[in-house]
Structures are given as structure tokens and as C-alpha cells.
């Protein structure tokens, strides 16, 4: 994601010794990266051309909300293990998510991708629940990366 600002000096910020401006975003671009067939990888951009056009930040959040809505509508696929994967699950000595070795009291589960049904490996139950919440539960997280903030030249 990249955001282009317009510098605006507001009356409350005027100072001869400490000049600064408030930067209002005017435009943004967002590269959507997805492996899900329901959500294409595509470049989306928006520029506020007139003052009565939607605010760029609000428009960005609308687009992100729509992405989250689409992800949540995707049907969860059932788990299907091959005999080899089942053997791997039974003989696994470490969790595929945290990479810690199992001890005798750990509860192990068959961790899988809820969108594809693909088995990922043996995992601690707590690691699996935390990971599942991030990917598809009520606590769904949509990763958004803003780039070049160090080189911001607004
Ligand atoms: Zn774990």
C-alpha cells in the first residue's frame, strides 16, 4: 500500500519557530496479494478528485472491509488426510506452528488450511486455535503492509 499526501497548513499549527503541516492523503494504491480463487490478486487505486468525493482513508477502509467480508464468505473445506499424512501426524515430535517439541501432556491436533482443506501438520491444540482465529475466526486479521515510510517525502 502506498499513500500520496497533500500538505495543508492549518491555523492551529502556524508557528514561526516550529513550522509544520498536516498531511491529508489524496490518493492511495493497494496491491492485493491472494492465493484464494475468490479474491484475485490485483492493483486497486483511488484518487480524490473533487472535494465531495469520498475521503481517501474512508475509501481505503471500505475496500479493506469488503476484502474481509469476501474472505469470511469462503466456505471452510473439510480436512482430508492421506495415509502418509496420518502416519506423519502420529509420529510427529514437534508442533508445525511453534516448532517446539511435544511433551507427554500436550494435546495434538491435525492442523489444516481451512480454505483448501490441505493438511499442514501436527500442532499443539492451543497453537492451532490461535492460528485459526487469525485466519478465519472472529479475530480475523487481514495483513496490510505500507511500504517506503522511511522514504516518506510528503
Ligand atoms: Zn505449538
pTM of the predicted structure, to 2 decimals: 0.60
DSSP 39: S
Q: Categorize the per-residue pLDDT at 150 as very low, low, confident or very high, splitting at 50, 70 and 90.
A: confident
Question: 122 or 5: which carries more pLDDT confidence?
Answer: 122
What average pLDDT score do residues 2-13 get?
63
Question: What is residue 153's predicted lDDT score, i.e. its pLDDT?
Answer: 64
Q: Give me ligand 1 centre to Cα 94, in Å.
A: 8
Cα distances (Å, whole numbers) of residue 80 to 17, 76, 92, 118, 133:
67, 12, 18, 7, 20
Beta carbons of 35 and 5 less than 8 angstroms apart = no
SS3 143: coil
Long-range contacts of 86-91 (CB under 8 A, 24+ apart): 88/121, 88/122, 89/119, 89/121, 89/122
Cα distances (Å, whole numbers) of residue 134 to 55, 138, 140:
29, 8, 5
What average pLDDT score do residues 4-22 get?
65
Nearest partner of 36 among 111, 142, 148, judged by Cα: 142
Question: What is residue 106's predicted lDDT score, i.e. its pLDDT?
Answer: 93
Beta carbons of 95 and 122 less than 8 angstroms apart = yes
Is the pLDDT at 22 greater than 90? The verdict is: no
pLDDT digits (tens, 9 = 90+) for 94-117: 999 999 999 999 999 999 887 778
Is the pLDDT at 13 greater than 70? The verdict is: no
3-state helix, strand, coil in the chain (%, to 5): 25, 25, 50
Q: Give me ligand 1 centre to Cα 142, in Å.
A: 22
Q: Give me ligand 1 centre to Cα 8, in Å.
A: 49
Q: Categorize the per-residue pLDDT at 74 as very low, low, confident or very high, splitting at 50, 70 and 90.
A: confident
Q: Give me ligand 1 centre to Cα 92, in Å.
A: 12
Surrounding ion ligand 1 within 5 Å at CB are: 95, 97-98, 124, 127
H/E element holding 25? strand 22-32
Beta carbons of 28 and 2 less than 8 angstroms apart = yes
Q: Give me ligand 1 centre to Cα 128, in Å.
A: 7
What average pLDDT score do residues 60-87 get?
88
Amino acid at each position: 500500500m502506498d499513500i500520496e499526501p497533500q500538505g495543508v497548513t492549518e491555523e492551529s499549527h502556524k508557528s514561526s519557530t516550529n513550522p509544520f503541516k498536516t498531511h491529508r492523503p489524496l490518493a492511495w494504491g493497494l496491491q492485493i496479494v491472494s492465493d484464494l480463487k475468490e479474491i484475485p490478486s490485483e492493483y486497486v487505486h483511488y484518487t480524490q478528485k473533487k472535494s465531495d468525493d469520498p475521503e481517501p482513508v474512508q475509501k481505503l477502509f471500505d475496500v479493506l472491509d469488503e476484502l474481509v467480508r469476501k474472505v469470511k464468505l469462503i466456505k471452510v473445506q473439510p480436512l482430508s488426510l492421506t495415509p502418509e499424512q496420518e502416519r506423519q501426524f502420529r509420529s510427529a515430535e514437534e508442533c508445525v506452528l511453534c516448532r517446539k517439541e511435544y511433551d507427554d501432556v500436550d494435546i495434538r491436533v491435525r492442523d489444516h488450511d481451512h480454505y483448501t482443506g490441505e493438511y499442514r501438520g501436527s500442532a499443539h491444540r492451543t497453537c492451532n486455535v490461535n492460528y485459526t482465529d487469525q485466519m478465519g475466526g472472529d479475530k480475523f486479521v487481514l495483513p496490510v503492509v505500507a511500504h517506503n515510510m522511511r522514504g516518506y517525502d510528503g
